[in-house]
Amino acid sequence: MPGILSLMTDFGTLDHYVGVMKSVMLTKDPLAQIIDITHDIEPQNIDQAKFLTRCSYEYFNENAIHIIIVDPGVGTDRRIVILQTPGGCFIGPDNGVLSEIIKKYSELGTDAQYGLINVPKSCKAFALDRKEFWMNPVSNTFHGRDIIAPIAVLLNQTLDPSVYGTEIKKLKYSPLPTPLIEEQSIIGSIVYCDRFGNLISNIHSGLINEDKITNIEVAKQKISKIASTFQNSNSNDPFTALIGSHGYLEISKYSVSAAKEIGIVVGDEIKVEYTKQG
């Protein structure tokens, strides 16, 4: 049974790219169900796409096809791949954009090196090289329209990636950074800033012992506790720390952009400090 097609790109909505790509898909299958996750990823920002993919794909069933296009190398010899997992199929360039999905299913440790890694045992990967399924001609600058869009719709009907490409055993792997867990602290980093200016870290709630927190420090600002809502904070704290809907620790300021107020950027450190023992 055909599933839902999700679409995530850095195309924006000012130009025609998203509309044309969806037109190709709906021309091939007028009944296709397409959900736009976002088209506002910063241009060429592969890390943003990794994070938003991690936050969104689990809300779809296992028949979903996830199209992720942030592709600075479009037109070069980089591959376009299908990653078939127990939780759905992912289509995108082999440039590391699928790394967070690979990490979920991989047996690798958190210190795994960047580079080419083996496809996880529970998954399969295919390089799209069957040109008879592509649009003709193919533009060197719009593979989303000419290669990915038509194959995504066909894949949604057949659910058999091997029809459209050759199976491969390795994929490019460049996961988002993981926090450093110490006895008295967790040292993480800001990995994403949303449109409200909330600063989202890579520290998952499952790593945090809220009962032992003495401070959460970011950009020399100290926050004394984790709040339950954006408005529910300690009045003495300059910012609010809370666990967002994605499950990660984030820093906010009620009705104001924390990013602008605090003056930090993606990649900056955030530290959770615990009460000293003994």
Domain positions in the chain are 4-173, 180-274
Whole-number pLDDT of residue 237: 85
Phi (first) and psi of residue 246, to 5 degrees? -85, -10
Summary mean pLDDT of the chain? 93
Q: Which residues pair with 80 in a beta bridge?
A: 93
H-helix segments, the chain: 17-28, 46-56, 99-105, 143, 149-158, 258-262
Given a cut of 60, whether residue 30 has pLDDT beyond it is yes
Flag the least confident range among 27-36, 47-56, 147-156, 225-234. 225-234
CA atoms within 13 A on the CB side of 35: 12
pLDDT, one tens digit per residue, over 198-248 is 999 999 999 999 989 999 999 999 999 899 999 876 667 889 999 999 999
In this prediction, residue 275 has a pLDDT band, given cuts at 50, 70 and 90, of confident
* pLDDT at residue 111, rounded to an integer: 46
Q: What pLDDT sits at residue 67?
A: 98
How far is it, in rounded angstroms, from Cα 116 to Cα 101?
Answer: 15
How far apart (Å, rounded) are the C-alpha atoms in residues 264 and 131?
A: 46
Residue 187 is predicted with a pLDDT of 97
Model confidence at 24: pLDDT above 60:
yes
Is 85:161 a contact under the CB 8 Å cutoff? no
Check: CB of residue 37 under 8 Å from CB of residue 8: yes
Q: pLDDT value at position 6?
A: 98
pLDDT, residue 113, reads 60
> Do residues 177 and 189 touch, judged by C-beta distance below 8 A?
yes
Burial of residue 68 (number of CB atoms within 10 Å: 0-12, 13-18, 19+): buried
Specify the fold of 4-173: Rossmann fold (3.40.50)
pLDDT band at 250 (very low <50, low <70, confident <90, very high): very high
Architecture of domain 180-274: Beta Barrel (2.40)
Residue-wise pLDDT for 85-127, tens only, equals 999 999 999 999 999 999 999 876 544 567 899 999 999 999 9
Q: What is the average per-residue pLDDT within 145-158?
A: 96
Instruction: List Cβ neighbours of 33 (8 Å cut-off, separation of 6 or more).
Output: 2, 3, 4, 5
Mean pLDDT to the nearest integer, 172-191? 95
